[in-house]
Amino acid sequence: MEKQSPRKKQISAALVLGALLVLVGMAVSIGPALAAGEDDAIIEPKSIVTLPWKNAAQKPVPPSFVLPRQSRLGCLACHSNTKLSRIKDGEEQSLFVDPEVIGNSMHEKIACIDCHTNFTYEDHPAKNPKDYWKVAGLACMKCHPYQKLKYEKSIHGRLALEDKKAELNGKEVEPALCSSCHGSHNIQSPRFESYRSEFRLSSKKVCGQCHTDRYASYGDYYHGQAYKNKAKDAPTCWDCHDNHNILHGDDAKSPIASPANLRQACGKCHDDPGESLVTYAPLIHGRQEALNNNPIFRLLGLIIPERQPAEPEPETREPVVQTEILSETPEVGLFARIIGIFFPRSLRPLGG
């Protein structure tokens, strides 16, 4: 038998060692997937997309870091526990995420880290919760490019993407993110009628949670009162002010910035809107102010006790089909006749 040289022995040993390392690597990569079973299979890494502001949250997920959506190896291994919580500022906050809610949403097949793109075990949200909240709240832009193009030009989007605060009623507040209006884990599609109707009735929650004064003043007879009585043909906030592309009222492109823009906005519901609709538009939010500035109304206020009926919760009301079928209290008596002479219907006092 021919005797091997020391050089050949070294090469043979290296090849054997390399083969062993390959086998060990295959066992490590295949083993967890086999142990997890079909339902808990590891999700393949996807391309990493970060959002365009410069702060600590811009750090992307390493391509080697992968979490399944719903498995004992993933986020829900802990967050599906109803008792999972943390203490912040002396108060307990739940960290529970209901798997059924996610499973019944439009995102049932999306992994947690598709939205929580800046999450890693080494850099947990507890270190900077604000940045993690904002990243997840704007992650929708990765998959919804049309809405992204509109949102990034809006007053909400410009502030959020520049990491700036909004000023509302003299206070600094966080600008509205995608999740501020659409929610987070329970995302539904407005393409389906059941949810579309439900969402149309949610202006108080969607817009009114921040613009409380504007929602409270939305009270003219034909629009605000009709909408709050669930009239199906009454406009929501976004029917007039747009949705993803909401602009400041001083912006020349805003639907309410000029008579020409108002005609176009009113034309969504009214055929060939003329001067009367344009001049009426300020009363949609300014009805009560107009009443307070009306001398006849102030005089009547001294004689007739003020009556402000409590507004029932939307859930207790039966929806009406059209604005026109809404009825007022029958007008009888001297003061009711005076009101009928001096006030257009849109300026009638509530309960008059």
Report pLDDT for 108: 84
Q: How confident is the model at residue 323 (pLDDT cuts 50, 70, 90)?
A: very low
Residue carrying structure tokens 């009628």: 193
More confident residue, 123 or 191: 191
* pLDDT surpasses 90 at 346: no
* pLDDT surpasses 60 at 100: yes
* pLDDT surpasses 80 at 169: yes
More confident residue, 314 or 194: 194
Report pLDDT for 42: 39
Q: How confident is the model at residue 220 (pLDDT cuts 50, 70, 90)?
A: very high
Q: Say if residue 172 is exposed, middle or buried (CB neighbours under 10 Å; 0-12, 13-18, 19+).
A: exposed
Instruction: Tell me the CA distances in angstroms from 94 to 79, 87, 104, 187, one per residue in order.
Output: 9, 9, 21, 20
Q: How confident is the model at residue 180 (pLDDT cuts 50, 70, 90)?
A: very high
* pLDDT surpasses 90 at 73: no
The region of weakest confidence among 61-70, 100-109, 195-204 is: 61-70
pLDDT above 90: percentage of residues in the chain: 34
Q: Say if residue 266 is exposed, middle or buried (CB neighbours under 10 Å; 0-12, 13-18, 19+).
A: buried
Q: How confident is the model at residue 57 (pLDDT cuts 50, 70, 90)?
A: very low
CA–CA separation, 239 vs 31, rounded Å? 54
